[in-house]
Amino acid sequence: IIYKSQVLTIIKILVSLLFMQKNKGSVCRSPLGMSRGQILDEDISASSQWSDSTAAKYGRLDCEEGDGAWCPEIAGEPENINEFLQIDLRSLHFITLVGTQGRHAGGIGNEFAQTYKIKYSRDGSRWISWRNRQGKEVIEANRNAYDIVLKDLEPPIIARFIRFMPVIDHSMNVCMRVELYGCEWLDGLVSYNSPVGQQMTLNGQYIYLNDSVYDGAMSNSMTEGLGQLTDGMCGLDDFTHSHVYNVWPGYDYVGWTNESFSNGYVEIMFEFDRTRNFTTMKVHCNNMFSRRVKTFQKVVCYFRSESDWEATPISFSPVMDDVNPSARFVTVSLYNHMASAIKCQYYFSDIWMMFSEITFQSDTAMYNTTLSPPKTGPPIRDDPTHKVDDSNTRILIGCLVAIIFILVAIIVIILWRQVWQKMLEKVSRRMLDDELTASLSIQSETFTYNNNSPSSVPSEQETSSTYERIFPLGPDYQEPSRLVRKLPEFSQTSEDTGELQIVQEGVPHYAEADIVNLQGVTGGNTYAVPALTMDLLSGKDVAVEEFPRKLLTFKEKLGEGQFGEVHLCEAEGMQDFMDEDFSFDVIE
């Protein structure tokens, strides 16, 4: 049995997983200006062009100027083609998403790229091939010339220059329109140099703590590149788990053991795009102390603004936490030091030290603008980032939403069953028309009718209902018991004016049948009627006969009682059926 509280708890967990926003890329997804004109024509270039009307400046997503797209001139064999469309963003940007489109030209064109690669550069001289977290370079693109295909970049790209390079499997014309999505890279960090991550063995399982997406040189150390410490993704509390699917344990963290560092610290050097005024540094650390992993005990940072390192470093020692194992950001104040490079030494407080993200805050970055003012260009269209892409994220979200709906449906079914059971306990089953049997008992009453006078005077009577109520003893049915019948009392005082003498107000003109809906009675009759009544004067049992149903004419339904429905009927042939003790006296 699934209880409501347990199901609600599961739903809360799934919703928290669904809307967890620890990835910077989840909020850094604004279009950078290809489709809206913020990126100028002179910042768009290409390796070649088919004609002037298919130049690089026409490679803007969702725009139809010129012949409708950028189309390279393909003269050689496909394997020798290295055509590209290049975009200069004028400053470093954090790029999380790209969009591509073919050449439609109002239905005239039908050229598009089915696959492509991306290369990027932070300085314009060293170009790096983008690879996803599984090491794949080729990106699946369009299947027609008009649809916009969006692709998440995992890991994101930190760069100023971007090149789109269509991959051609056979001799064919390709055309592209593109857009970049992301935000400005305010940290200004262009590279970090550090020792390579190491490997941990935990309960017979290997935990790989290397920087798997580092885009610089790697040997015994990592140099001139960026990687997992700047990908915007913070690691989980349990370092053996990851935000990313189909990766190895420890993927989110870069970690080191103190056994490999005799001096007791790990040194990381950060280089920036220009001299900046630094205020703080934030380091996201794992603190799973039960597995000998803690935040750093102390950090010492040196600054370099020109060519030499400053002689006086700053030092900071965070408060150690041996109670809460959650991963956390440790904020280090840099006291507004001016520098273009920072070298920090992080001291071990336990056997292992693990970082997943390092960010810097500098006030000069606050005054940078993303791009030049927009020029007059194509009208603003709907943002395609609102469209659904075909990434793995969509599959994950769909699965979580489906699970939530299933759990909600289970709760609704449980509640509905509970309400329905309560209703069944209160309401008896309705009677079947073909099995209805009415029992009618008529008390001895005298009706006086005068043909000469329309007026009537009621006689006084001190009696109540002919039958006493049968109360149920069990939840399902009640065996009929002996009923006590009280003889009616009639008033003998009446005037000689010929007025009609009738029963006292409150006594019905028609005899009402107590119709009892009782389940479990043997035979074909589902209604049990009291078979005996007692004469109060003689103390003898008097049999109460059943009145034939065919002689009853249904008039109206009076309501529903404890044992079934109550109907008002008119009896036909009453005198032929009644005993001699009962009579109707009519005064003529």
Lowest mean pLDDT among 125-139, 207-221, 343-357, 409-423: 409-423
As beta bridge partners, residue 354 has 255
What predicted TM-score, i.e. pTM, was given to this entire model?
0.61
Judged against a pLDDT cut of 90, whether residue 552 lies above it is answered with no
- Can you give the pLDDT at residue 580? 56
Domain 189-367 has CATH 2.60.120.1190: yes
Provide the pLDDT confidence category of residue 77 given band limits of 50, 70 and 90: low
Q: 92-103: per-residue pLDDT in tens?
A: 999 999 999 999
Residues 6 or more apart from 386 whose CB is under 8 A from it? none
- Average pLDDT (189-203) is 94
451 pLDDT above the threshold of 60: no
Average pLDDT over residues 216-231: 94
* Residue 90 burial class via C-beta count within 10 angstroms: exposed 0-12, middle 13-18, buried 19 and up: middle
Domain(s) of CATH 2.60.120.1190: residues in the chain: 189-367
DSSP secondary structure string, 152-194? EEEEEEEEEEEEEEEE-SSS----BEEEEEEEE-TT-EEEEEE
Six-digit token pair at 520? 């479990």
Find how far residue 275's CA is from the centre of its chain: 45
Q: Which of 320, 199, 319 is nearest to 259 (CA)?
A: 199
Alpha carbons within 13 A on the beta-carbon side of 241: 6
Q: Name the pLDDT band for 390 (thresholds 50, 70, 90).
A: very low
What H or E segment, with its residue span, contains residue 279?
A: strand 265-285
pLDDT digits (tens, 9 = 90+) for 246-259: 888 999 999 999 99
One of 2.60.120.260, 2.60.260.20, 3.30.565.10, 1.10.10.60 is the CATH number of 32-184+384-390, namely 2.60.120.260
Say if residue 565 is exposed, middle or buried (CB neighbours under 10 Å; 0-12, 13-18, 19+): middle
Percent of the chain's residues with pLDDT above 70: 66
pLDDT of residue 65 exceeding 80: yes
How far CA 417 is from CA of 84, 412, 570, in Å, comes to: 64, 9, 42
Q: Which of 71-85, 201-215, 341-355 bottoms out in mean pLDDT, i.e. has the lowest?
A: 71-85
- The whole-number pLDDT of residue 427 equals 65
Where exactly does CATH 2.60.120.260 map onto the chain? 32-184+384-390
